[in-house]
Structure 1
Amino acid sequence: MTTPAALEIPAYLSTLPRKRLLYAVDTYFREGFEDLTQVADSAERFCHDHALLLLKPDAVVGRRLGAALRWVIANGFTIVWADAVTIDRHGIRALWQYGLNAASRDRRDAADLYVTASECLLVILAMPGRSRAATLLLSEAKGPADPVGCRPGQLRYDVGSVNYQLNLVHTADEPADLLRELAVLCDHETRLALYRRALAAADRSAEAFDLVRRLEAATPAVRLDIEPTLDELAAAARAAADAPDPLPHLLALIARIRAGQSRDWRRLLRLARECGVPVSRWQRIVLATHLLDPYLPGIDSLLPDVSSTAA
């Protein structure tokens, strides 16, 4: 794949030649980069010094927003922009476009459920004066998507990542991703304002914590572990007034899932519906994200990920 436009993307934006080729014809990246060059004396310095942190709806309902902000501040980052953003199913596919080709249908369906469940908190961080780009430092420090691979000191471990998808945070891998993802998440005018405020280098942490309080006040807290969800569904099933025929099958499936003998969350939801057992959106999210297989066998992502992060 070759295009003359590929030569326009300097190596400081990405160490990956394939990414530079793909992003050369990516509308989101090009718009993010074009807007930055309108307002920044040095696009390279801005891209080197700034990182993007997206706190997802699981961080909102799990009440992990404040802990995540305190973590980045304690680790030397300065918050220079914060705002609430809403991501729809089109935004999900745009944001994770170069990884979702390898995602299972279960993972894509679960992403649609949880990423759209509430507003997210978008935070732009500054860490100037380092030899490596701030995006790389943050991406590596946050830890992998799977909590099994996280270790103490990493953002996802310290804040309390739950499972492969309910991992609370997303970060832009490299400077090129910072610009592209800002174009996905923000319109033209918002990007220009964001770039200008970030370049002003003022500490906006107070504004970020104000947003935390607003988001949490507007969104009920949720337990994200699977055991309480299974307990709630089993109790609701036993309390079903008419005791329909599928009820024993529902209870048996819940027991098998609890014992690690089944991961059939779609059948569980179908049986619950047939039994008249209500299942909330977040209960569906918890079941799906804990039980799904995230990958399509034999398919690689279009681009590698710095910390094996996924939607």
Structure 2
Amino acid sequence: MKLSPEQIAQFERDGYLFFPSLFSPDEVKTLTDAVPALYARREAYNVREKGSDAVRTNFAAHLYSEPFAKLARHPRMVEPVQQIFGDALYMHQFKINGKMAFEGDVWQWHQDYGTWKNDDLMPEPRAMNVAIFLDDVNQFNGPLMFIPGSHRLGVVDAKHDLTTTSYPLWTVDNALIAQLVQRAGGKNGGIVSPQGPAGSMILFHGCLLHASTSNLSPWNRVSVYLSLCAVTNHIRRFKRPEYIAHRDFTPIITLPDDCLLKDVPVDLPWKDGMPASALQTSIDELKAA
């Protein structure tokens, strides 16, 4: 999938692009049918909500689930990022975020590149997220919120929040968010929230400030996120486990566009279980030295 010059200009201005209904209902069903079994696993790669059994994030499904291994190589998700960066890409992170009905907690205001820089020593913001909705997303079930144009500020000041939710995050304080929202238009477009049917896709810059509220509705809001990084910009530190921040910098080779609906072979290196090495970090190596 190729972006038009107008779409590239819009991305450079706003920091994101939204593609409603990019994937068909049959393609989405291939993915959603696989989610319950993934969420049921009692593995480190399933991070659950604080005080709840609901899954907040499932990591690295592309390494042990055939449908998500195909999605990780899907040209509609990979090719636009390759076009923007002009470089081969590797999978820095793959996650299925489960903002579950009544239980999905907030994601505080943050920049993804802030975490990639501070925790993983990723040199430059030459990485971004591509998200696909597995459920319809509306104003009630905790949709993503963006501050358009905030990616042009580069990395902003952040603090490491280890207490608000069950997942640590480099978050931005309220005063700065209020200032940036006002700068982006205040009540007239200072915050935007792409919403649409399952199968819609968002591409957004690693420095774009974003957040989401808790889900108090009776509707799930499950989304898949491919964090794609230029191979030449790979991370330099393995502070986080490999199931969170991947260490295989092999360039992604895309599959045919209809791969989700066809019997296309894919490699599943963790299909028989996650290796012990995926839990080890450079911090563990330092302690052992």
Confirm or deny a common fold (TM above 0.5): no
Normalised TM-score (structure 2): 0.27
Between structures 1 and 2, the one with greater helix share? 1
More strand by share: 2
Q: Point out which structure has higher relative CO (alpha carbons under 8 A, 6+ apart).
A: 2
TM value normalised by structure 1: 0.25
